[in-house]
Chain A
Amino acid sequence: MTSNKIENSPTAKINALSDSFKHVLERGQQYVDLLDQLAQTDDAEELLAAAEKLAEQDLHNAFIDFPQHYQAADYCMLFMGRLLEMHNVTSVTVDENGQHEFVAMIDPLEDTSFKFVVSDNGEAAFTEQTQQQPLFYMNLEQRLFQFNNRALVNYFIVYALKKHSDLELRDAIKPLIEFANELADDLNFTINLGILNTANNQRFKLREPNLQLTVIDRLFVKTGETDYMLMNLPQNSGAELLLDQGIKFDLSFDPDDYSQEWAFQVKDPGEQVSFFDILLHYTMVRQWYLADRDALAVRSDQLIIADDEDADNDQLAATIPPEPTEEVMSTTAVDEGPEDDADNDSEAAADEDSEAVTDEEATEQKKHDEDD
């Protein structure tokens, strides 16, 4: 922090100005190179590197004002757009809006757009704009990706289904899943598809530890006027709804596990159907789930973003049960969304060359700037 010492001599002042210009010009050249790389490379690793470095770049300077440039959120969006383009996924269009922000449109959702919202810890939330639902989170530096179960239900199941058919929404969510899989395949991201996961052994634990059996009774009663049947699982360990084409929808606990944690599970012969798909396609299940959502909400096992203490030795993703819950995540995301933007701006200004700025450091630097 020697550069911040107050120098009084004119020569020193000129030198400082000159150094600053050099520094900024260098920075400018780097910036242009990275932009080229982001726009042109066909290599996923180079694409990621460009997006990551650009997101950290800061062009603010006391002496030189660069023309309009983009925010970390925009680089995330460009990165997503390019990666999808490299894989010939055409249903997502990334474009710049009037405020120099990059937003995505997803076919066939013509009535909404999507933006990234980047939070203090570098987590970029892909946020639907009409309902402000953060559908997934990604962290480029730590190569983590995770869908937000609650936001998926809030946006697609509760809201969008009023305007779109289930098949349209299925089409809309496809490129997002493809994006996640591309991150995993091309860039070794640790991904969590949440309720979009179609694997038969995937279990989604309920947020509430105790489930009243009358909740399952209500689903049972709903089946009375349909061709679907709700069966009892061995050892009274839960219920299994028999749906079309051999699809089985379970709400059960492991009878051998003392804790008896209730969980949803979807099993189908081709492992192609997710819990989300069931909510989307089966009105009966959807109505039942939403009517008792407090009791039936599933947990979001969140991928850990390494924090201050263990930033050096623990960059690995891990899954932490049982908190935070999907409820907490959504509240945080929705309530603090707008503030995050403001914070990002001031932090980007404070952030010098440091690769990963922790909250504490950022605050210190901010104070320092104010002191200046």
Chain B
Amino acid sequence: MSSIDQSKIRNFCIVAHIDHGKSTLADRIIESTGLLTSREMQAQVLDNMDLERERGITIKAQAVRTIYKARDGEEYIFNLIDTPGHVDFNYEVSRSLAACDGAILVVDAAQGIEAQTLANVYLALDHNLDVFPVINKIDLPSAEPQRVIEEIEDVIGLEAQDAPLISAKNGIGIEEVLEQIVHKIPAPGGSPENPLQALIFDSVYDPYKGVIIFCRIMEGTVKKGTLIRMMATGAKEEVVEVGYFGAGQFIPCEELCAGMVGYITASIKNLKDTAVGDTVTDDRNPCKEPLPGYKKVQSMVYCGMYPADGAKYPDLRDALEKLQLNDASLNYEPETSVALGFGFRCGFLGLLHMEIIQERLEREYNLDLVTTAPGVIYKVHKTNGEVISLTNPSNLPDPSEIEYMEEPIVSAEIMVTSEFIGAIMELCQERRGRYLGMEYIEGTRALLKYDLPLNEIIYDFFDALKSRSRGYASFDYDLKGYEQSSLVKLDILINREEVDALSFIVHADSAYERGRRMCEKLKEEIPRHLFEIPIQAAVGGKIIARETVKAMRKDVLAKCYGGDITRKKKLLEKQKEGKKRMRQIGNVEIPQKAFMSVLKLDDRK
């Protein structure tokens, strides 16, 4: 193992717009090289979570090592590093890229370049990766490889004439991709003799081994017994094991040296000690400085999570604790709500991340959750000079104590075909977007640039974008910074009682509209009671919108004879079950999903 020839290693990743075939190509590469036979091959090895569970260890299958025997007769080691595809995880993408020397850009032969194609390829080029394009899905009837090749050359400026034309799905052209990996992606640099400098691009928690660090060795060598130190967090431990990645399993080896990709275990108990992007060095012989680019991951979106059954609060706490072991970007702290009782305010990288966590809590931990509307972090500048980061609308200080407030802004790029430019610009306008410019990409498509407030895009922007462009628009964004804004807290009163869990911060200009839609939506969600229930939206104590849930006057089964009884009983059971899933606010019972449905105030159906 120690005599691995650095010039025969290729560390690379695949970048693509969603659904352009990244995972399928990864599967084909693994299949056509020396790791698995096609019989062992399961679809999408890199994405397969079940496989991880079967092995009893948690791996996000972020990297895999395969052996390729090239046409020149030499054997090459391929380290394929998978990158998360969603904008929520941009920082992780950036760290994965930093662990590579090159990237394959997959572009759909029918769809051409999309917003994430651009965002990801620029990210790769920013990391000085050598990128070569691959045109996928050439077997589609609508494929236009020549047009896409020209588009890649014109828009990205990447040489594409000899891009492999492939169908990852049908295994066409894969050999050419493998050859180009050998020839177009450079061998790693660095020297095994230098002080250790390794980049953490992921880490997972394993109950037996502790934290497993996924890293790329830039300089030096690491082996069992090395006393390693994480340069940003300062954590120190002795290495227990090093190795590389099979498919879904860890294969121990003697040592990892410059240019290699592998894992390190060192009895580290806390995932927070091994932050993605941090540099691992040898404490006894440290490198001079850490690798560039480390950032502490910041939560962008917050929401309250409450157990549907108040007695499950300790279970929720335990579940969050366990999830955090494997997801350092999740953070949470206890909070209480008058409406929902004891729960947690949780921070996420974005809405998708939030949905994933929610789903895992419900599925893996069997918890029934009530989630409040997600919000962003506002900066509240108080008259006394204090600045607070507001994650829970209920904690907004009295308006008299507020000097001004700031909200996070993102720079967004939206790619859209010309016929929908008007509709998308209108959408961005409605969402308080600031138009920065537009570039035409070939004749029919344009890249729109906007600054948008984050709180306008976390709810349903993506859905609205898709529905107004018939699915053709694509979208990417980056946090830009904070800007002063005229923000107010919108309160909801149900049967004249304020429901804290439904309050949220909104721009003053959209307060009326949002309040009105919120009331309409709640009217649909709250079942009729024996009495009439007013639903009101208020800003600063002033009512700005109202709806009424009429009193229930009829709820009866007209027929119930011999053959109906079992079926009718099921209906009543459902009704009773529904009542159990209600939250009592005053004397009004509110279904739990009402707290979440207000997230989807889709403007145009």
Partners in one complex: no
Contact surface of B with A, Cβ cutoff 8 Å: none
Contact surface of A with B, Cβ cutoff 8 Å: none
